[in-house]
């Protein structure tokens, strides 16, 4: 008799635990340790759900404060014992020291025969990015020996300065002649106006969200090719930014903003990242502002 009652109590307890467990669970996983500032870190989203559930993973954009998302991997799907496990890895970077956690994120799902979508909160991952400065390091280190530069004659310095001035005057005269020379093919086309008109035309098209990103990237690279004379369509993002930097074509702020835009477009074009439909207009506005700013006199995008 006592054994029967114990069995009933155990069954009720098991049913209560099973009822309390949510049907869909989600969490972020990261390798243990403290990442350095600017060091790429692999962050993995893991979602477990019943095999019959219709699961929609969250769309994580390139700008995901406090993280910068550099790459998004393919979604892996494994079915085992009536449950499905989804895994997707992201490469993220932290740029400031401190204690961080992943932003609040949700996974949407639907369990048949219900037609209403439900949401499951993703358990966050925590990071500590240490500072490279050690405030408690009071050890005194010896000074380096004094290095005396070699003696250079003042006459040699004057001769070098004279040669530099003469070369500068010659270059200035050459550039002045080039400016005053009349172009044979009529006035140059307005690269900025043409690019902004094309972006406005793309904004009015009925396209999938990913196609908007690709069209915006093509317009931006065409502008960089015509404006600065670089083979933008044939270069990777790193090669393109290095070419612009070697020409001193942009300010450091313009370089940073251009990299953010190109990285966001590359995620969609090469990593098959699926952007949210309502993010396309914001991207086109950012590209338009950058083009207009890079063409203005003060150079502020």
Per-residue pLDDT at 97: 86
Residue with the larger pLDDT of the pair 7 and 71: 71
Q: What is the pLDDT of residues 36-57, one digit of tens each?
A: 888 898 999 999 999 888 899 9
Q: What is the mean pLDDT of residues 31-36?
A: 78
Which sign does the torsion angle of CA 162, 166, 168, 172 carry? positive
Per-residue pLDDT at 173: 75
Query: What predicted TM-score, i.e. pTM, was given to this entire model?
Result: 0.41
Per-residue pLDDT at 297: 46
Give yes or no for residue 141 having a pLDDT over 50.
yes
Per-residue pLDDT at 301: 43
Per-residue pLDDT at 148: 72
For residue 157, give both structure tokens: 């310095």
Nearest residue to 122 (alpha-carbon basis) of 34, 19, 29, 20: 29
Per-residue pLDDT at 85: 94
Give the phi and the psi of residue 204 in degrees, each rounded to 5.
-85, 0
Residue with the larger pLDDT of the pair 249 and 183: 249
- Ordered by where they begin, the domains of the chain are 20-129 (2.60.40), 191-295 (1.20.120)
Give yes or no for residue 136 having a pLDDT over 60.
yes
Cβ proximity of 198 and 205 under 8 Å: no
Per-residue pLDDT at 44: 94
Give CA–CA dist 7/13, Å, rounded: 10
Give yes or no for residue 144 having a pLDDT over 70.
no
Q: How would residue 185 be classed by pLDDT, with cut points 50, 70 and 90? A: very low
Share of the chain above pLDDT 90, in %: 33
Beta bridge partners, 54, equal 110
Per-residue pLDDT at 137: 57
Give yes or no for residue 1 having a pLDDT over 90.
no
Give yes or no for residue 81 having a pLDDT over 70.
yes
Per-residue pLDDT at 139: 63
Least reliable range by pLDDT among 16-20, 206-210, 218-222, 237-241: 16-20
Give yes or no for residue 205 having a pLDDT over 50.
yes
For residue 96, give both structure tokens: 């400031």
Share of the chain above pLDDT 70, in %: 81
Cβ proximity of 82 and 50 under 8 Å: yes
Cβ proximity of 216 and 283 under 8 Å: yes
Q: How would residue 257 be classed by pLDDT, with cut points 50, 70 and 90? A: very high
Average confidence score pLDDT of the chain: 81
Q: For tokens 């449950």, name the residue.
A: 83
For residue 110, give both structure tokens: 């639907």
Give CA–CA dist 77/74, Å, rounded: 10
Give yes or no for residue 20 having a pLDDT over 70.
no
Q: For tokens 């338009």, name the residue.
A: 288
Per-residue pLDDT at 186: 35
Per-residue pLDDT at 12: 52
Q: What is the mean pLDDT of residues 83-104?
A: 90
């Amino acid at each position: 008799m006592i054994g029967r009652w114990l069995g009933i109590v155990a069954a009720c307890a098991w049913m209560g635990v099973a009822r309390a467990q949510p049907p869909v669970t989600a969490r972020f996983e990261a390798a243990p340790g403290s990442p350095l500032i600017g060091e790429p870190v692999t962050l993995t989203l893991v979602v477990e759900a019943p095999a019959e559930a219709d699961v929609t993973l969250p769309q994580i954009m390139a700008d995901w404060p406090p993280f910068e998302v550099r790459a998004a991997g393919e979604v892996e799907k494994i079915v085992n014992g009536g449950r499905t496990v989804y895994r997707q890895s992201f490469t993220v970077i932290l740029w400031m020291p401190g204690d961080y956690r992943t932003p609040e994120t949700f996974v949407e799902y639907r369990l048949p025969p219900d037609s209403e979508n439900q949401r499951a909160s993703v358990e966050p991952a925590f990071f500590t990015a240490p500072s490279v400065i050690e405030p408690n390091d009071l050890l005194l280190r010896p000074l380096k020996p004094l290095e005396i530069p070699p003696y250079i004659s003042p006459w040699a310095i004057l001769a070098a300065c004279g040669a530099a001035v003469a070369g500068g005057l010659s270059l200035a005269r050459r550039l002045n002649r080039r400016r005053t020379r009349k172009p044979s093919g009529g006035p140059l086309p307005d690269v900025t106006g043409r690019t902004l008109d094309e972006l406005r035309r793309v904004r009015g098209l009925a396209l999938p969200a990913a196609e908007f990103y690709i069209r915006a990237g093509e317009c931006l690279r065409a502008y960089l090719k015509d404006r600065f004379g670089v083979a933008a369509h044939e270069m990777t993002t790193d090669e393109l930014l290095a070419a612009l930097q070697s020409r001193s074509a942009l300010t450091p702020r313009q370089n940073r903003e251009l990299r953010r835009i190109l990285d966001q477009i590359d995620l969609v074009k090469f990593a098959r990242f699926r952007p949210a439909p309502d993010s396309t207009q914001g991207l086109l506005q950012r590209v338009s502002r950058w083009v207009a700013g890079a063409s203005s006199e003060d150079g502020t995008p």
